[in-house]
Amino acid sequence: MNRLLKSLLIVSFVLGASAPSFAQVPIAQAPSPTTAPSVTGTVRQYLLTPHGEVDGVLLTDGTVVKFPPHLGDRLTATIKRGDPVAVVGFIGLATPYGTAMKALTITNTVTGQGVVDEPPAAPPLPPDRRGLSLTPLTVTGTVVRLLVTPPGDVDGLLLSSGEQVKFPPHNGALVATLLGRPGGTVTATGFGTRNAFGTVVDADSLVVNGQQVSLRGPGRPPRPR
Residue 217: the pLDDT is: 58
Residue 85 pLDDT grade (very low, low, confident, very high; cuts 50, 70, 90): very high
Residue 120: the pLDDT is: 87
- Asked if 204 and 134 count as a contact pair (C-beta separation under 8 A), the reply is no
pLDDT higher for 221 or 60?
Answer: 60
Residue 209: the pLDDT is: 87
Is the model's pTM score more than 0.85? no
Main-chain dihedrals φ then ψ at residue 123, nearest 5 degrees: -55, 130
CA distances to 26, 101, 165, 191 from 137, rounded to whole Å, are: 63, 29, 10, 5
What is the second-level CATH architecture of the domain 38-116? Beta Barrel (2.40)
CATH 2.40.50.140 positions along the chain are 131-214
Residue 221 has pLDDT above 70, yes or no: no
Residue 61 has pLDDT above 70, yes or no: yes
Please tell me the distance from the alpha carbon of residue 93 to that of residue 176, in angstroms, as a whole number: 16
CATH of domain 131-214: 2.40.50.140
Asked whether the CA dihedral 201, 207, 208, 210 is positive or negative, the reply is: negative
